[in-house]
Amino acid sequence: MGRISGLVPSRFLTLLAHLVVVITLFWSRDSNILACLPLRFTPEEYGKQDTQLVVALSVTLGLFAVELAGFLSGVSMFNSTQSLISIGAHCSASVALSFFIFERWECTTYCVLPAVTEMALFVAVFGLKKKPF
Amino acid sequence: MELPDPVRQRLGNFSRTVFSDSSRTGPEYSEGPDNEMVSSLALQMSLYFNTYFFPLWWVSCIMMLYIKYSVLPDYYKFIVITVIILITLIEAIRLYLGYMGNLQEKVPELAGFWLLSLLLQLPLILFLLLNEGLINLPLEKAIHIIFTIFLTFQVVAAFLTLKKMVNQLAVRFHLQDFDRLSANRGDVGRMRSSIEEI
C-alpha cells in the first residue's frame, strides 16, 4: 500500500458505530420485546423473549471481540479487500439495527442481518490468518 | 508549539522521581543500546483512533443533552455543560501532548499527557458515566463506556512507555560519563607521552 488512505479510520469508525448501537440495544430492548409479544402476555413469555434477545446480543458482542482482535492486532488492518467488506457489512448492520430500534421491529428480525454479516467477517478474519503473506 | 520551560522542568523532575528504577545501581547490560526506539505502537494506535472517535463522542453527547435538557434539574444543567466544555478543552491539549510526547520521545510532554488523562479526564468521564442523577440515555452510556476504555488503556500504556523512556535516558546519561572518562584518559595519555619526550 502506497499512501495512507482513509480506509483504516473509516473501518474503525464503522466498527465502533456498530458496537455503540449494539450496546445501546442492551439497555433499550424493552420496546422491541413488547413489539414481538402478543397483546396479552404473561411475565414468563416476556422473560423468555428477553433472554433470547440478550443471548443474541451477547453472541454479537463475542463476534465483535474476534473482529476487533483481528483488526487491532494488525492481522487484517491493511488488507483493502477485507476492509471494504468490513466497512460495507458494518454500515448496513448499523443502519439495520438503528431501524430495528426506532421502528420497533420484531425480535426475530434481529438475528438475521447482523448475524449474517458478522459470520461473514468472522470467516474472513480467520481465513486471512491462514493466508501466507 | 512547545510546552513553556518551567512546566517542562517540573514535569521532567516529576518523571524522574516516579518512573525511574531506583533499585539498580548502574546500567544493566541486558538493556538495549541507547539508540533503541521507545515510542510505543499501542499508545500511538490508541491515540490515533481516539482522535477519530472524539468528534463522534462529542456530537452524540451534545445531541443527547439537547434531548434531555428540559428534564434535568437546574444545577445539573450547569454542571453537565461545564463538564462537557472542560472535557473538550482538555482532550484537545491531551491528544496534542500525547502525539508530541510519543512520536518525538519527549518525556515532559508524555508525562503531561499521562497526568491529564489520569487526574482530569478519568474522573470527569467517570462522573458523566456513573452519576445516576444525570438521566443517562443508553446511547450516552455506550459512548462513555468506550471513551473510558480508551482512557484506561492510554493511562496504562503511557505509564509503561514513560518508564522505558526515563530508564533509557538514565542509561544514556551513564554512558555519557564513560565517554567523558575515556576522553579524559586520552588527554592524560597525551600529556604523559609529551612529558616523556621532554
Which of A85-89, A127-131, B37-41, B112-116 is predicted least confidently? A127-131
pLDDT of residue B30: 46
Q: What sign results for the dihedral spanned by CA atoms A41, A42, A45, A47?
A: positive
In a domain, B87, yes or no: yes
Q: Of B162, B176, B177, B156, nearest to B12 (Cα)? A: B162
Residue reference for cell 483488526 = A71
In a domain, B130, yes or no: yes
pLDDT of residue B158: 92
pLDDT of residue B84: 93
In this prediction, residue B47 has a pLDDT band, given cuts at 50, 70 and 90, of: very high
Contact B52 A9 (CB under 8 A): yes
Contact B49 A26 (CB under 8 A): no
Q: How many structural domains is chain A composed of?
A: 1
| pTM attached to this predicted model | 0.80
Nearest CA in chain A to B139: A24
In a domain, B190, yes or no: no
Residues of B in contact with A9 (CB under 8 A): 48-49, 52
Q: Of B1, B70, B25, nearest to B170 (Cα)? A: B25
Residues 6 or more apart in contact with residue B87 via CB below 8 angstroms: B121, B124, B125, B128
- How far is B48 from B138, CA to CA, in rounded Å? 26
In a domain, B164, yes or no: no
Q: How many structural domains is chain B composed of?
A: 1
> Which of B41, B43, B44, B45 is most worth mutating to test chain A (most A CB atoms within 10 A of its CB)?
B45
- Cβ pairs A/B, distance under 8 A: 34
Domain assignment of residue B136, given as a range: 41-158
Contact A16 B53 (CB under 8 A): yes
In a domain, B33, yes or no: no
Contact B45 A12 (CB under 8 A): no
Averages of pLDDT over each 10 residues, chain A, 133 residues: 68 86 81 70 77 79 78 71 74 77 64 64 66 49
pLDDT of residue A44: 78
pLDDT of residue A132: 46
Domain assignment of residue A105, given as a range: 2-129
